[in-house]
Structure formats: structure tokens, C-alpha cells
Amino acid sequence: MVARPHREAPLEEFVLELHGCLRMQEVQDAFVRYANRLVPAQAHGIYELDADTGALSVQTRGVNDEFLAEYEAVGRQIDPVFAGVATRHDPVSSDLFWDDDAWRAEPIYDVLGRGDIHHLLQAPLVVEGRLVGTLNVASPRAAPAFGHDETDRLRFIARHVSVAYARAQRVETLERRCTITDDLLDVLNVPLLAHTRDGTIFFANRAADRLLAVHLDERGAAALRSALRRNATALADGTRRVVSESFTLPTRGDVGEWQPRLRRPQGRCTALAVRTTALPHVADAVVSFVYALPTVLATPLPGLSTREQEVVELVVRGLSNRAIAEAASISENTVKQHLKRVYAKLDVHSRAELAAEAAWATADPDSPFTSA
């Protein structure tokens, strides 16, 4: 004996499909596809509404575009069913709220008549107390009226569609924010890398992609990833929010040092600085900025004396304390005292961090890592 299908099967199928909808269009498509099985009628529609501009999008079956255009142009503002739904946030049936003569006397009736509509049932889609759309069901005069059963069923459907709308709105808002964020990061001249503690990169902006794909060979990329790992490890104990490091690029045996755009005043880039910062709400990921290490600082670092600035520039060039002392005509002990004060002022702890901080503070706006 074959079991008879359960009368609620279409409704259950519809609700289950709604649970998988992540976009407004998917929600609308699902309703239109199931609508006639849920509340049989000649026409069905689902509207996404804006409080100021009216319908943002419409999905319908059983009515033509000409009628829809006329309804939006002149009908909605005189539609008492829609007004009741908007006010009550509850379904309204023309058959339950008006007797036949009163309904036919309503100004909206002439507009509906041009769409061969007599019976009209609407239910609100409400998100966080705000009307965001409606479900519309309509039939000609010869069709059965929309009574309490149809009204109750459409109320139940509308509540589920409202939940799906809320979810879809959140997903679409998040997608828009992600797109905007990606675009903002891509316009940065500075390479930006989001990576895990072990140096695995899971996001790179356009400048970082160019750095890895064009400017660094395999050894250079490996050296960069090692720096990412070291910085991430230094942040792991939670005592510091930012760590910086600089490192010399391995010499490329085929063409030697790579040459960035010619107008870059610093000339060839032979070292990189990596500045890594912890993310306040993400424990297992950090973000790093990468700079070409300058051989000449374009602008003075804030808070440093002229002599301290000179020492920093010599450190950036890779000179030892003894070489700095000879170049600046001071004692090696004086060099150490200058560096001690510089470390304290800039909150760094090593020559590598100092060089990286110098790169950060005087970042070249004409970055060699961006597209020409």
C-alpha cells in the first residue's frame, strides 16, 4: 500500500529550502517556485521594499509587467490592503476586511481590475520591527475567497521568509563590506599580508601579490616567510602588539639585485622591512606590512635629534657601531648611547627593528611593489 503524501509536505519542503537561502534573490525565487502549492491562486508576488523609494525588487507569477508598473505608479499609495499590512504588520485579506460592495468601491479596485484581480491577500515581511517587503496572493472574482485558513498560512510563511530575508541581508551586507575592504587594501602601495603564526599567508593585497610574484625569487620569498614567522612568534606571548624586523634579500644569481622603477630615489632595493601587528580579536592570525628598506631616509624620524637621526641612517645602511663611530667622528661608546636613546624613543629593541621602523616611518610613496 502506497502511503498518501502528507498535506504539509510542500510547506515543509519550502521551509527547508529557505534555510539554505543566503541571498535575497534566492529567497524570492524559492517563494515564487513554491507559492501556488502553498496558497493556490492565480497570481503570487514577493516584494522587497524600501521605506522611501517603494519596491526595490519584485518577483511575480500570474501578472504582467504592465499591471505591475501601474500598481507601483498609482496603485500602492491607494491600496488599503497594503496600508493595513504596513500599519498592522499582520496579513490582510480583502475578503475578510471588506464586504463585496465596499471592496468594489475602493479606488484601488479599478487598478486591480486591469490585472483581473478581485481577491487580494498580503502579508508583511518584517525584520527587526521594520517592514522590508510583502508576500502578495491574488485571484479573479470567480476564484474562492481568501479566508482565515489562507491568511493564517500566509502569516506562517511570511514569518519564515522574514527570517530568511534577515539572514540574506546580513550575508549581502557582509559581502559588500568584504568587497569594499578588499578594494581599499588593494589601493595601498604597501604590501599587506595576513598570515597565521606559522607564516602561512591567507590574504595578500595587490601590492603583496606583485611583490611575491614579480620582485622576489624563490629564496627571497622564503626569506620573507621566515621573517613573518619570527615576527609572529615574537608576538605570541602577548606582551607586545607590534614587532618589526628587517632582512637582506638574497642575491639573485641570474640578474643580481632587482631594480624597481627608475624614478625611485633610493635606487636598488637590497633589503626589506617587515612590520607585524597582532589583531585584537583574532588569536591565530596577524597582519604584516612590507617595505623596501631605504638606504637614505627621505624624511627625519620624529622625536630624534640631528645626531640621532644621523646614527639611524648609518644603521639603516648596515654599518657596525665601529664604522658608525668612524663615519660620524664620535666614539663607539657615544654611538651606543645614541642608539640606547633612539631605541627608547622609538620603542624598538634591536638594529633590525630600528631599520624596520625607519622604513615604516619614511615609507616610500613611490613603492616599487605596485603596478607601473
Tens digits of pLDDT across the chain (372 residues): 444 444 458 999 999 999 999 999 999 999 999 999 999 999 999 999 987 667 788 999 999 999 999 999 999 999 999 999 999 999 999 999 999 999 999 999 999 999 999 999 999 999 999 999 999 999 999 999 999 999 999 999 999 999 999 999 999 999 999 999 999 998 888 899 999 988 899 999 998 998 898 888 888 899 999 999 999 998 988 888 888 887 877 765 443 443 443 334 444 567 788 889 998 888 889 999 988 776 666 667 778 888 888 888 888 776 778 878 877 778 999 999 999 999 988 888 888 778 777 776 666 544 444 443
Q: What is the pLDDT of residue 115?
A: 92
Instruction: Give the pairing type, strands 92-93 and 119-127.
Output: antiparallel
Length of the chain: 372
Q: DSSP readout, 4-51?
A: PPPTTHHHHHHHHHHHT--SHHHHHHHHHHHHHHHS--SEEEEEEEET
- CB–CB of 123/85 below 8 Å? yes
Cell numbers standing for residue 112:
486591480
Question: 292 has which bridge partners?
Answer: 272
Residue 214: count of CB within 10 angstroms of its CB: 11
Q: What is the pLDDT of residue 93?
A: 97
Range list of H helices, 187-296: 206-210, 218-235
Q: What pTM was estimated for this model as a whole?
A: 0.66
